[in-house]
Structure 1
Amino acid sequence: MTTTGPDTCKVGGHTDIGRRKHNEDSFLIDPELGLYVVADGVGGHKAGEVASNITCQVVRREVAAGTDLAAAVLLANREVSDAVASGTGKAGMASTVVAAVVRDGLCDIAWVGDSRAYLLWRDRLSLVSRDHSYVEAQLAAGRITPEEALTHPRRNVILQAIGLHEDGELNVGRNKGRLQPGSRLLLCSDGISDPLDAEQLAQILMRGGDPEAACERLVALALQCGGKDNATAVLVDTPATADDDTAHDPPQATWTFDSASGSYDGQAPLAPREEAPHDPLGQTQIMSVSEAEQSALETGSGGNRARYWWLALLLGALALALAASLQ
């Protein structure tokens, strides 16, 4: 059902289990608070859905109490961790999250992991969040190109998640700015952003119409394009006005990247990302930077070369044995 927010924003959401056994995604729409959240649980065996639900509820409770959005996300991280420690949660459960507070024409976005926020304005789609992922870290450090990122074997590895980090170790991505009249803000799990590229996302969003219907089309197309994961979308439409104010550009912000830890701090840039990885992926994995790099060495091109050397040595030994037997 499409609802109306405090700024007469129209909002809708939709989720689908995809080809998984459980839907570990959760989403929240609170028009009175102007709060919208998508959380993608990780852990399997229903553990992920517990983590994503706790994340949504804690963020809503804290924002309702006047807590800053990023601080609310940090408190969600603490409560998911506490739930595991107390036994009310399940070991290994975690969640990504992307959340937005839209009030008085201003938008505050916060995220952890690879759930994303996109902004459509004047038929231009921009990615307004940056994944806490191994591939994004490699891009930021200049170690790979955007083209290489599209097919990187570790593009489903995330470096940050709610519930698996101490407060001081969790970096909450942040973006703030003014939403122009007629903008569409999309929050989605990777079940949407992985199988669909930027052009496919933009085509559906540019069709306009009811936000919930648009979310349903996004989810259906993601599954049609080979997506296997739970798929969730929340869409916030700001009302268009006759005197469209063009004095403000979409929000701009800056961030910092620590190549030693592979972590992000501050606010994410709004440079548009023309392409999004769209090959269907397997289950999201959570690793540290060092674990991801070691895994890449073991299974990447270096690992393949090692296997080829062992095969060559084996064939050489067989050839020598055959030659000796013929003498």
Structure 2
Amino acid sequence: MSEAKVREVSRHSGTVQRTSGATRSAGATHPGYKRDQNEDSYWADEQRGIWVVADGLGGHQAGEIASQTVVEEIQRSAATDRHYERALQRAHALLLGDDQNSVNMGSTAVVVAEDGAYFHVYWVGDSRAYLWSPGAGKGELKQLTSDHSYVQMLVDSGAINSSEAASHPNRHVITRCIGGSTNPKLEIDRVSSTWAPGQKLLLCSDGLSAEVDAELIAEVLADNSDNRRAADLLIAAALDAGGKDNITVQVINAPSPAPTSAQKWTSCTTGALRRLLRRFKVSVKILLAIIAVGLIAAFAADLLGQF
């Protein structure tokens, strides 16, 4: 992409919002050319290894409130229990319980959370996560998420192909979101993987994925090691395609140096133990109490045996 396109984005510096202080990742959002309000929200904490993009639904203010509610619950979880599925469930409950809410107020979300050498992706709706891996040509771009949308259902059923889906008139109709319904149960999808050297993750709202094809996304990620520049170029590409929706992106580098096999094994083992302890809520005090009870019982039995 040309330098002119980067300068075009800079001319919209009053409406482009960017993250600051990050080293491994960069994020940016733009309202696009057709919307007065930016209903997307995003947030990152590299120290805790957590990134989120949320795309609000419901029109003026309602969508903005919905997406910000998602971000706030992820922030709360990052600082406490790191149960991000529960965080999305809490956001869902909050939006359903909001007196100002209606069936039209909701949000999609895609969340990436690191756990040592692993990363986990959680999503609801049509906000996406892509994994780019270096290789021949422009590398390999793999979509990790599957849209919860009407058009994706048609593709999965074989009724239409991916080319037809890209121009389908109902391609923006989603089948699952946070809030936006009266159903108290929210189903959250998840996929997990290990990092490999040189890889990048891209999180985005459909303002990018619905307007910019995968080949151009891969080209931008391959040609730009600076994530800030890559994020700006992706925003520029969506604007060049018409900017018909709010556009939000986050580009995330694999940790450096890349985890070794031993670190991956340690991370996996440690993570499994941590999850096991959380599941059964076993504390040191309880273990000590059990041991103490056992010793007392054994001592009592020994005394009774003497008589």
What's the Cα RMSD here? 2.2
* Equivalent in 120, 134, 137 of residue 108 of structure 1: 120
Task: Detail structure 1 runs of 4+ shifted over 3 Å in the superposition.
Answer: 1-4, 165-169, 239-245
Across the two proteins, how many residue pairs are aligned to each other?
239
Q: Which runs of 5+ in 2 are unaligned?
A: 1-18, 265-307
TM-score by length of 1: 0.68
Compared CA separation, residues 199 and 61, structure 1 to 2 (3 A): same
Q: Distance in 2 between matches of 1:183 and 1:166?
A: 40
What amino acid sits opposite 2:83 in the alignment? D
Post-superposition Cα deviations, 1:51-75, rounded to whole Å, max 9, x if no partner, equal 1001101122123221422222111
Provide the rounded CA distance (Å) in 1 between the counterparts of 2:222 and 2:65: 34
Alignment partner of 1:174 out of 190, 203, 212 = 190
Find out whether 1:147 has 2:192 as its counterpart.
Answer: no
Query: What amino acid is aligned across from residue 57 of structure 1 in structure 2?
Result: E
Q: 1:37 aligns with which of 52, 56, 66?
A: 52
Q: For residue 119 of structure 1, give the secondary structure of its aligned residue in structure 2.
A: strand
SS of structure 1 residue aligned to 2:55: strand
How far has the Cα of 1:141 moved from its partner? 2.0
Q: Distance in 2 between matches of 1:237 and 1:163?
A: 31
Deviations 1:171-230 (A, max 9, x none): 212111111121100000011111100001001011132212211110011101222111
Query: Would you tell me which structure has more helix in proportion to its own residues?
Result: 2
**What CA distance in whole angstroms lies between the structure 1 residues aligned with 2:170 and 2:258?**
46
CA distance 1:184–1:44, change in 2 (3 Å): same
1:240 Cα shift?
Answer: 5.0
Q: CA deviation at 1:43?
A: 0.8
Aligned position for 1:279? none
Question: Is the CA contact 2:166–2:210 (under 8 Å) kept in the aligned structure 1?
Answer: no
Distance in 1 (CA, whole Å) between partners of 2:113 and 2:259 is 24
**By how many angstroms is 1:170 displaced?**
2.2
Give the Cα–Cα distance (whole angstroms) in 2 for the partners of residues 91 and 166 of structure 1. Answer: 7
Corresponding letter in the other structure for 1:95: S
**Superposed counterparts of 1:246-325, under 5 Å:** none
**1:49 equivalenced with 2:64 (yes/no):** yes
Give the superposition deviation at 1:90: 6.5
Change in 2 beyond 3 A, CA 1:178/1:40 = same
The alpha-carbon distance between structure 1 residues 167 and 178, as it changes in their structure 2 partners (threshold 3 A), is: farther
1:260 aligns with: none
Counterpart of 2:235 (choices 216, 219, 240) is 219
Give the one of 145, 148, 151 matched to 1:135: 151
Q: What one-letter code is carried by the residue in structure 1 that aligns with 2:25?
A: V
- 1:134: Cα distance to partner? 0.4
Which residue number corresponds to residue 89 of structure 2? 74
Q: Distance in 1 between matches of 2:245 and 2:36?
A: 10
Q: Which position in structure 2 is the counterpart of 1:264?
A: none
Provide the TM-score with structure 2 as the length reference: 0.72
Amino acid at match of 1:186: L
2:44 maps to 1:26: no
Cα offsets for 1:284-327 (capped at 9, x unmatched): xxxxxxxxxxxxxxxxxxxxxxxxxxxxxxxxxxxxxxxxxxxx
Work out the CA distance in 1 between the residues paired with 2:208 and 2:215.
13
Q: Which has the larger radius of gyration?
A: 2
- Matched residue type, 1:93: M
